[in-house]
Structure 1
């Protein structure tokens, strides 16, 4: 290459870098200012997200989860995710940590259930679609399933999606502790989707009251939330469906007084989320958050609250929400890796005892509602 050609390339590179930095600064200032007014969305966006929340809040499994719903927390979670900015000045992209994994099939190897991986990957897709990095974090015993879930997910992941696994508290090394602390240092938002949460005694339990910590299955991922909140002031969003998931401490009283939640005083997770999304199935909560974040981002840009590319709502939804084909393929990969339905205990692509079609119907309804707001704008 000639010197002249090299000079033009260098100038173009500097121009591109300068454009990226300017956009980052404008977006950061606008988003940081806007996050303080978390309620600011259009009436149409508010209505859409509220309708999505209503869908996932129906107690399809008859487990009493309706009492765990915190009305409005889906919208606030979506706003937080959609308007996220890096805390560190040396980072151009925000980083979302997604905690997941519920090893409730304690006598199996792997002990991983089908509720969790799809929801976690849906959130990761949304985070990357919105322009961030995403890292999924789970227990070592769940590694094979999450690795299968993330295999060949598509071009959207590229170099922006990572997987980290940790061993039990007793097996954690100094290197593991440093790695965990490093994750927190680089993190801007923590989201848990169907993540086992410590109860009052510090142990994690299945809905039947089986002690997963005692079985040597649980990594101390709650420390990520504790470290993030304590030293860094990082906010924590959680998705759950039964009361024993991390973040459910926000509705602890409702869990303890719910007659449909057996062993509530034993299994109830005590860590409280800043924003809690209760759903009939946690995966559905992941779909809902992804779609709601897409709706909020499009709404913000269209109404000039935030800078950004003028994409259609359909484009934002496609970027952030998995298709039915994506989800069927992902569940197939998980089951092939040994994942099981947490209710039936069988290696099948059902979730919490509900058919694949039931989950896909929920996904279709969420997408239809999200895209319905586009029709309202026509």
Structure 2
């Protein structure tokens, strides 16, 4: 008998931006990332994507804050790493969740990554909606424009090699984010633009979603299932998270407008996705047998 698809996978597979994420996503990825994070001692969560000068986007910080809260509740020490432009967004999201503002500005410099890793000693590194360099060493947005001038090279944290390096997890939605190097060949086959913007930065566990925030929420949902704990926020808090980021200076990464939207989708849409994921956290697997037992057609 064929196992029914996981409801979390189905939700994360929603592709409102028509980015063909089905071509480079993997079923069960959120669950695999959650299992890798269980028992994590020290976690660095990297986020923040500035689409134009002084215009950081609304995708990323909410997902980072919600994931960080879940991990902290499960016993991890969580620190957020971003650049100066995105600090207000991360802090605003954490404030909505009543979480401590443990935010570090990436130090930069020739040995910035080494110094930060040495001081924080993370067991796990997570990136959510943070640009990763392409084959040419540049950072490109989905339009193919360079954003390197206003996005410091935080992806250097993920270049480590060796047996003692942290476990790495990447969450993205387009192909140019840290971690998407894991499926770069699949992304490059889609079209010439995608081949040019695709990052080469790989991770141990990659989660692809229609919106990166949703990917973070999917991992939280999976953590809740694994631990029997209600870790996901509510639809109302989702609306507040987006509004708080906009008030802190964020814009929509697609429309470039400073309004409570993420990737051109209104806050009601994102709240509905959170509601669906809360259902998924309770129901586990949704398949034909479940529908036959509990749904009237």
TM-score after normalising by structure 1: 0.70
2: CA distance, partners of 1:240 / 1:359: 16
Structure 2: runs of 5 or more not aligned: 291-297
Deviation, structure 1 residue 177: 5.5
What is the match of residue 145 of structure 2? 210
What is the match of residue 156 of structure 2? 223
What is the match of residue 293 of structure 2? none
- 1:233 and 2:165 matched: yes
Deviation, structure 1 residue 356: 1.1
The answer as to whether partners of 2:39 and 2:75 remain within 8 angstroms in 1 is no
Deviation, structure 1 residue 179: 4.4
Deviation, structure 1 residue 82: 2.1
- 1:337 and 2:272 matched: no
- Relative distance call for 1:77 and 1:286 in structure 2 (3 A) is same
What is the match of residue 78 of structure 1? 34
The 5 A counterparts of 1:153-172 are: 153-154=97-98, 157-158=99-100, 162-166=102-106, 169=108, 172=109
Structure 1: runs of 5 or more not aligned: 1-45, 85-93, 299-315
What is the match of residue 295 of structure 2? none
The 5 A counterparts of 1:78-157 are: 78-84=34-40, 94-104=41-51, 106-107=52-53, 109=54, 111-154=55-98, 157=99
CA shift digits 1:95-136 (9 cap, x unpaired):
1111111111x14x2x21011011111110111121111111
2: CA distance, partners of 1:62 / 1:152: 31
Q: SS of 1:239's equivalent?
A: strand
- 1:349 and 2:282 matched: no
User: Which of 221, 226, 229 is the matching residue for 1:296?
Assistant: 226
User: Which of 114, 124, 129 is the matching residue for 1:189?
Assistant: 124
What is the match of residue 116 of structure 2? 180
1: CA distance, partners of 2:220 / 2:48: 19
Deviation, structure 1 residue 58: 2.2
Superposed CA RMSD in Å reads: 2.3
- Relative distance call for 1:373 and 1:246 in structure 2 (3 A) is closer
Bigger fraction of residues in helix: 1
1: CA distance, partners of 2:35 / 2:163: 23
Deviation, structure 1 residue 372: 2.2
Instruction: Tell me how many residue pairs correspond in the alignment.
Output: 285
1: CA distance, partners of 2:4 / 2:89: 36
The 5 A counterparts of 1:205-284 are: 205-213=140-148, 215=149, 217-227=150-160, 229-230=161-162, 232-259=164-191, 263-284=193-214
Deviation, structure 1 residue 52: 0.4
The answer as to whether partners of 1:83 and 1:297 remain within 8 angstroms in 2 is no
The 5 A counterparts of 1:43-58 are: 50-58=6-14
Deviation, structure 1 residue 77: 0.7
What is the match of residue 8 of structure 1? none
TM-score after normalising by structure 2: 0.88
- Relative distance call for 1:153 and 1:65 in structure 2 (3 A) is same
1: CA distance, partners of 2:31 / 2:270: 21
2: CA distance, partners of 1:247 / 1:355: 27
